[in-house]
Amino acid sequence: MERELIEGIIQAINVGDTGRAAKMASAALERAEQTEPEAIFATEYEIMELKGEEAKLLVRKAVDFYRSCGREVALAEFSNPKGRFRKDQLYVYAIDSNGLMLAHPINEKYIGMDFLRVVDFEGRPFMKEIVGVANAQGCGWVEYKWLNPLSGYDELKTVYFEKHNDLIICSGVYDH
């Protein structure tokens, strides 16, 4: 039963119905809390995996948009705080292959800043890692500690990214 539910959530994410996926995930967590308290950790971990898949799907949609509309239009839309690539905490941002921030819908002050030497709350140069992996492999995942604007706490953030031409398109999720 659990496997079917998880597959249903993944299917909802893959077709872009994130609202349905979130409701299904929430219902699964509530059921686990009531029937199997010891299974909550596994359920929360599985939900994090699904959020990661949602970030990956958003990046893929952003890549398609970039390919169809071009760089200038895509960067403008990625920077739009009310645009199609911003959903609550989930959003797309873009950097170039040298770590220069080109688009960010949450903090416009970041645009134009060199992020290559920026470190997370543990001192890790996470953007250097993103740029390195993107330039070498084209896509990947990186984790780092960053301030979650909704909770106000430093939290682990997992980011998926893909490189197209000299543009690295990213989206990430917080653990909580």
Contact predicate 171/90, CB 8 Å? yes
Distance CA 155, CA 88 (A): 16
Average pLDDT over residues 77-85: 95
CATH of domain 3-174: 3.30.450.20
Q: pLDDT: is 68 or 151 the higher one?
A: 68
Share of residues in the chain with pLDDT > 90 (%): 59
Nearest partner of 143 among 155, 152, 151, judged by Cα = 155
Q: Poorest-confidence range of 15-24, 51-60, 115-124?
A: 15-24
Tens-place pLDDT, residues 24-39: 666 665 665 565 555 4
Domain extent listing, the chain: 3-174
